[in-house]
Structure 1
């Protein structure tokens, strides 16, 4: 089922499958969100839970038992229920059940709330540990934005990361983190977008939970439209598009977690970027998408 939410500046559509954002359209008529063309990437903006990225061999171990789970977890493929809807917000919830517990042995609730505030879409992610034991999880988002938005070509666009500084970068090796090969990326100036930028998979920035804003704009036309994503506490930011396919999108992905390290021992409690949540506790975070 698809839900629509609108104000004077934005109209968004949210699918109950995965609580996935399917459309972000401005009053100017511009569709900012990638429209999931099946010849390239058939998703728009999936929610990532209870892992971010890939597990080594798509498996992990918890309390002596082995479990299997695909990349980015299962939430993006599951049916959420409507929890609450107001004039300017909609909240969807995923509750653990027998299907989720076959992959992930914890009782939980995952709430995804979308709120419109003028030209900004606020996305709130809340994880509730409904279990009687500590829960281990990661959570994140994977929104893809159309490039170009109106004028120019894919390579005319750039990503301006604020603050403009040097960031630690986490490289990927066969979809796994390779911390030993970590390096730095100089983002004192905007990062030009090109197909080869993504030759080695996603560009992953280690944000160290510091506030960051990333602006996607046309480098050659300051009057053109753009979009920005702001986060106050994301641990990592993934920047991704397909290579070598000529897909016309760029993902800006705030993550509270990351793929397994190449040297992982496979234990969930040791997983790179894993978060622990006490019984009965909740984890809450937010990121904002603003259109220009």
Structure 2
């Protein structure tokens, strides 16, 4: 089932499968901002990453003497959520632990995603994790929205750029294969906006360490005629990605509260790099927003 919310400017569609954004369109220009999941390039629109972000070493983790197997980015993107609340301008989706999830991930959880049109041009996305048990749970969460580049015909991928604010030197997490290498950080300085080039993704995503600093990214055409601004309040990381070697007509801006296993991970989820630990009966929340112009 697809849920539709809208206001004077935007029409937003979210599917209950994975609580995944499917479409964001402006009424005045009829532009479709969200990538439409052509399997020739990538068959997703904006998957939700939970209970891990990225890949586990050998796709497995250990907890209290047992080994569990999880594929990249976790299972939430492949399961049906329940719509628990809906109005003209917002919708709330929920996923709870089940016998299926317990085979993959031994923890009890209530995971909610709220989509709200907060202004005529802005969609706010909120994550809520509740631990209904008495013992801690360990998790990561994040977004993976893909945006059409170019947005209009007769434009090119290289006509677009990404700008990061505040302008400063960021630590850049390098990847070795699918694993992160935080012990050997690179740097990224957005003093000059990042002109889009496919070769920049030869080593996978450009990953910036934000250290929970409020940050915004603008993806737009060079003349700034149309684009999207992502506002991050307290994310740990953000990834910028397009699949290398495919000349794909989209770019992902990915807010993360977590990251892939390190190359030397020992497999114990309680030791996992950038893991979130949530005590029993406690709540975790995170949010980000997208403004379309």
What TM-score range do you get, normalising by the shorter chain? over 0.9
Spell out the pairing of 1:96-111 with structure 2 (5 A cutoff).
96-111=97-112
Spell out the pairing of 1:40-55 with structure 2 (5 A cutoff).
40-55=41-56
What RMSD over aligned residues (CA atoms) do the two structures have, in Å?
0.8
- Where 1:76 maps in the other structure, the secondary structure is helix
* Deviation of 1:227 (Å): 0.5
Could you list the structure 1 runs, at least 4 aligned residues long, displaced by more than 4 angstroms after superposition.
none
Q: Does 1:92 align with 2:93?
A: yes
* Deviation of 1:131 (Å): 1.8
Name the counterpart of 1:145: 147
Whole-angstrom CA distance in 1 between matches of 2:36 and 2:167: 30
Q: Please list the CA deviations of residues 77-103 of structure 1 after superposition, one character each: whole Å capped at 9, or x if unmatched.
A: 000001100221000000100000101
Question: Is the contact made by 2:147 and 2:251 (CA closer than 8 Å) also made in structure 1?
Answer: yes
Q: Does 1:160 align with 2:158?
A: no
5+ residue gaps, structure 2, are none
Name the counterpart of 1:216: 219
Q: Please list the CA deviations of residues 23-73 of structure 1 after superposition, one character each: whole Å capped at 9, or x if unmatched.
A: 011112000000000111000000000000000000000111100000000
Q: Does 1:124 align with 2:108?
A: no
Whole-angstrom CA distance in 2 between matches of 1:286 and 1:118: 18
Whole-angstrom CA distance in 1 between matches of 2:71 and 2:256: 17
Whole-angstrom CA distance in 1 between matches of 2:32 and 2:131: 36
Spell out the pairing of 1:195-234 with structure 2 (5 A cutoff).
195-219=198-222, 221-222=223-224, 224-234=225-235
Whole-angstrom CA distance in 2 between matches of 1:122 and 1:18: 17
- Where 1:132 maps in the other structure, the secondary structure is coil
What count of residue pairs does the alignment treat as equivalent?
Answer: 290
Whole-angstrom CA distance in 2 between matches of 1:130 and 1:173: 36
Q: Please list the CA deviations of residues 200-222 of structure 1 after superposition, one character each: whole Å capped at 9, or x if unmatched.
A: 00010000000000000112x23
Name the counterpart of 2:39: 38
Whole-angstrom CA distance in 2 between matches of 1:35 and 1:255: 22
Whole-angstrom CA distance in 2 between matches of 1:131 and 1:19: 24
Counterpart pick for 1:184 among 166, 184, 187:
187
- Where 1:106 maps in the other structure, the secondary structure is coil
Whole-angstrom CA distance in 1 between matches of 2:51 and 2:133: 15
Name the counterpart of 1:267: 268
* Deviation of 1:191 (Å): 0.8
Counterpart pick for 2:135 among 110, 127, 133:
133
* Deviation of 1:183 (Å): 1.0
Whole-angstrom CA distance in 2 between matches of 1:132 and 1:85: 31
Q: Please list the CA deviations of residues 97-136 of structure 1 after superposition, one character each: whole Å capped at 9, or x if unmatched.
A: 0000101111101101000121000001101111221000
Question: Is the contact made by 2:111 and 2:130 (CA closer than 8 Å) also made in structure 1?
Answer: yes
